[in-house]
Amino acid sequence: MRLHRKYGSNQAIINHCRTVAKVVDVLAEEFSRQGKYIDREAASEGGLLHDIGRSRVQTVRHGLEGSLILEGEGVDEKVVQIVRRHVGAGISAEEAKKLGLPDFDYVPRTREEIIVCFADKMVDAERVRPFVEEVKRFAAKGHDVERLLALKSGLEADLGTDPEALVLHKIKGTE
């Protein structure tokens, strides 16, 4: 929160980040419960800070901008990568080039990176909503729906259960 304040995030960004972090915590807890390793602190921090770059820019660059802010603040490299890789369902090297983004890896790969990216796709502003709504939004914008579906199915395979059903079940009634 100190960093959000320092960089001038508005309340809507902060509220969105808090809700995403809540979803992240549900998923991280399930990995832990199953005895599967996850850095819950890094995941949670990544959720809380993932949109800090929106204090500077509203485009796809906000992931990169956020990561640079956090790098400058000496934040854990794991958290920096979570923030850099949360945009869309990941940005391929080829797309990053087209978008004029510097040569970094923008694809979520670790459990922590994947659950923050996925959690973000389940939260519209402050509302946790069904994943299919994001799929429709992706399709309407001409984004790569297959990659979005692969994000979910990859997480489901790793988690051994449907992450969407888990989140909707656990968060329901707590809003």
Cβ neighbours of residue 38 closer than 8 Å, sequence gap 6 or more: 28, 31, 32, 111, 112, 115
Q: 23-42: which residues touch Fe ion (CB under 5 A)? A: none
The minimum distance between CB 161 and Fe ion, in angstroms, equals 25
DSSP state, residue 54:
G
Instruction: Choose between 52 and 159: whose C-beta lies nearer to Fe ion.
Output: 52
| Closest among 140, 133, 112 to 49, alpha carbons compared | 112
d(CA 93, CA 105): 7
Phi and psi at 88, nearest 5°, equal 60, -140
Instruction: Choose between 25 and 51: whose C-beta lies nearer to Fe ion.
Output: 51
The minimum distance between CB 33 and Fe ion, in angstroms, equals 27
User: What does the radius of gyration of the chain's CA atoms come to, in whole angstroms?
Assistant: 15
| Interface segment toward Fe ion; rule CB under 5 A; list 22-30, 43-51, 111-119, 167-175 | 43-51
The minimum distance between CB 134 and Fe ion, in angstroms, equals 12
Q: Does 134 bind Fe ion (CB under 5 A)?
A: no
d(CA 18, CA 39): 18
DSSP state, residue 56:
T
For Fe ion (CB under 5 A), the number of binding residues is 1
Cα torsion angle, 139, 82, 161, 169, sign: negative
Q: Does 51 bind Fe ion (CB under 5 A)?
A: yes
The minimum distance between CB 34 and Fe ion, in angstroms, equals 28
The minimum distance between CB 56 and Fe ion, in angstroms, equals 12
Instruction: Choose between 35 and 113: whose C-beta lies nearer to Fe ion.
Output: 113
Q: In the complex, which residues of this chain contact Fe ion (CB under 5 A)? A: 51
